[in-house]
Amino acid sequence: MNTYKKYTIEELLLDDYFISSTLHPTQDSKEYWDYLLQNGYVQTDDFERATLFVHAVQSPKEKMFRKEKELLWERIEIENKKILANKIRRLHRVSLLAAACIAILLGVTITPYFYREKDKTSINPMALLEQKTIEPVGEDICLILSDSEKMNFKEKSADVKNNKKGEVKVNSQTLSKEEHVNSEEKENSQLKEEETTYNQLIVPKGKHSTLLLSDGTKLWVNAASHVVYPVVFDREKREIYVKGEVYLEVARNESVPFIVKTDRMEIEVLGTSFNVKSFDAIEENSDVVLVTGSVNVRTESGKKIELKPNQRFSYAKDGKSTIENVDVYDYICWKDGLMRFKSENLSNILKRLSDYYGKDICWGKEIEDLKCSGKLDLKEDMENVLDGLTKMLPVVYSKDGENYHFSMNN
């Protein structure tokens, strides 16, 4: 039987359920921890000191850096547990013990860890984004349901809709919730409501998607992007996990903030529209562009920023950050099939076109820093778009099979 009996103060401070129970106690969580304390599964002295520490710093995990998190994740893997707090209450404190869910670690490149108990799987959603076996590089849009069933869609775009019952509809095809719930999950439906399960939407290069979440929030998901989201949001938080680029229109709910987590940032909103771009931290800057409302951004280094409409927060791979006023449509028009740019390096434009159309484009070093301003209609055939670039700049391109190469027009 897994318990908290051997938990040290440090391990309690890394436990999401302990932190949440301390900062936002409920009747259920109070009864749960009282039961563990009364039966000796958690030492009273350790519990009290950990509680004081959480109240003193609010959330100790906020101050962790990448290397620290990576080391802690290895230790946490050993004690991965399920939340069974309400089950304890329901069975009048009989000896059914449960542990809090595993902490979600931001900004850590890890091997995803799964545990299976009675054929049920608990998943760290941030780890899902790091799985190299499902990077968004295939040919089809892929939807991975909470029971690990994969569904591929060959269309250029997919319209994915989720409702509050956990049902999913894709391009007018309804996927019944009952088709994806095994018999044990049905028998434990009340417990299942306690646990957060996740779907994944993986959009490869050359494809695009829209995604409607169970709370009414809508996402436009750009090419080469990966979104991990709860089948149904719980009552206390709304969190999704993003790698790539998405534009969001968040359904307002002042009592339950909406949080977008990437490998380098955490963005919290109440109800607003904004664009998030966070690809591989080694290759690109991450940025947030706010269209309406307000957002709070917290970086991996602990820096906190509040954005106002028409502002862009850019976070460089070296840790430097900037805030500037921008024409936001330049950064969100991709969702309408357009690309606008002002004094943009040609290399950045070509990379975005390569992702959007799913074709390889390379270029000589002599042209990568050429500046370009203009607008491209991405609904056009790719070669028509490339021809447009050759009219803006002194460049030419050649085609070798499915590959394109740009060079100076001498």
Q: What is the pLDDT of residues 246-295, one digit of tens each?
A: 999 999 888 898 999 998 889 998 778 888 888 764 456 889 999 999 89
Distances (CA, A) of 96 to 20, 29, 41: 21, 15, 12
Separation between Cα atoms, residue 123 and residue 102, nearest integer Å? 9
Helix (H, G, I), strand (E, B) or coil at 252: coil
Separation between Cα atoms, residue 314 and residue 85, nearest integer Å? 41
Residue type, 336: D
Separation between Cα atoms, residue 56 and residue 196, nearest integer Å? 28
Q: What local confidence, expressed as pLDDT, does residue 225 receive?
A: 93
The first and second tokens of residue 278, run together, are 């966070």
| Radius of gyration of the chain measured on its C-alpha atoms | 23
Residue with tokens 């004690």: 79
The first and second tokens of residue 61, run together, are 């995990």
Using pLDDT thresholds of 50, 70 and 90, give the confidence band for residue 6. low
Helix (H, G, I), strand (E, B) or coil at 291: strand
Helix (H, G, I), strand (E, B) or coil at 154: coil
- pLDDT above 80 (res 333): yes
Q: What local confidence, expressed as pLDDT, does residue 357 receive?
A: 93
Q: What local confidence, expressed as pLDDT, does residue 188 receive?
A: 47
User: Is the distance from CB of 60 to CB of 296 less than 8 angstroms?
Assistant: no
Separation between Cα atoms, residue 1 and residue 31, nearest integer Å? 19
Q: What percent of the chain has pLDDT over 90?
A: 42
Q: What local confidence, expressed as pLDDT, does residue 90 receive?
A: 41
Q: What percent of the chain has pLDDT over 70?
A: 71
- pLDDT above 90 (res 101): no
The first and second tokens of residue 322, run together, are 């900037």
Residues 6+ apart with CB under 8 A from 348: 341
Separation between Cα atoms, residue 244 and residue 202, nearest integer Å? 10
Q: What local confidence, expressed as pLDDT, does residue 282 receive?
A: 42
Identify any residues that bridge with 344 across adjacent strands, giving them in sequence order.
Answer: 372
Count H helices, E strands: the chain? 12, 25
The first and second tokens of residue 32, run together, are 């749960």
| Minimum mean pLDDT range among 119-123, 170-174, 273-277, 308-312 | 119-123
Greater confidence (201 vs 77) lies with 201
Q: What local confidence, expressed as pLDDT, does residue 337 receive?
A: 93
- pLDDT above 70 (res 139): yes
Separation between Cα atoms, residue 227 and residue 241, nearest integer Å? 6
Average pLDDT in the chain: 76
Residue-by-residue DSSP string for 304-347 = EEEE-TTEEEEE-TTS-EEEEE--THHHHGGGGTEEEEEEEEHH
User: Is the distance from CB of 60 to CB of 54 less than 8 angstroms?
Assistant: yes
User: Is the distance from CB of 136 to CB of 205 less than 8 angstroms?
Assistant: yes
Q: What is the pLDDT of residues 205-238, one digit of tens each?
A: 999 999 999 999 999 999 999 999 999 998 888 9
Helix (H, G, I), strand (E, B) or coil at 269: strand
Residue 389 has a CB neighbour count (10 Å cut-off) of 20
Mean pLDDT over 336-358 rounds to 93
Greater confidence (157 vs 128) lies with 157
Separation between Cα atoms, residue 217 and residue 273, nearest integer Å? 10
- pLDDT above 90 (res 86): no
- pLDDT above 50 (res 174): yes
User: Is the distance from CB of 339 to CB of 352 less than 8 angstroms?
Assistant: yes
Q: What is the pLDDT of residues 24-83, one digit of tens each?
A: 787 777 877 887 788 777 888 888 878 877 766 544 444 444 444 444 444 434 333 333
Q: What local confidence, expressed as pLDDT, does residue 194 receive?
A: 55
Identify any residues that bridge with 297 across adjacent strands, giving them in sequence order.
Answer: 267, 305
Q: What local confidence, expressed as pLDDT, does residue 283 receive?
A: 53
Phi-psi region at 107: left, alpha or beta (left = phi > 0; alpha = psi -120 to 50) = left
Using pLDDT thresholds of 50, 70 and 90, give the confidence band for residue 13. confident
Residue type, 373: S
Separation between Cα atoms, residue 169 and residue 190, nearest integer Å? 24
What domains are there in the chain, each with its CATH number?
9-106 (no CATH), 120-330 (2.60.120.1440), 337-408 (3.55.50.30)
94 burial (CB, 10 Å; 0-12 / 13-18 / 19+) is: exposed
Q: What local confidence, expressed as pLDDT, does residue 312 receive?
A: 94
Q: What backbone torsions phi and psi does residue 149 show, to the nearest 5 degrees?
A: -70, 130
Separation between Cα atoms, residue 340 and residue 331, nearest integer Å? 8
Q: What local confidence, expressed as pLDDT, does residue 68 receive?
A: 44
Separation between Cα atoms, residue 228 and residue 22, nearest integer Å? 27
Using pLDDT thresholds of 50, 70 and 90, give the confidence band for residue 112. very low
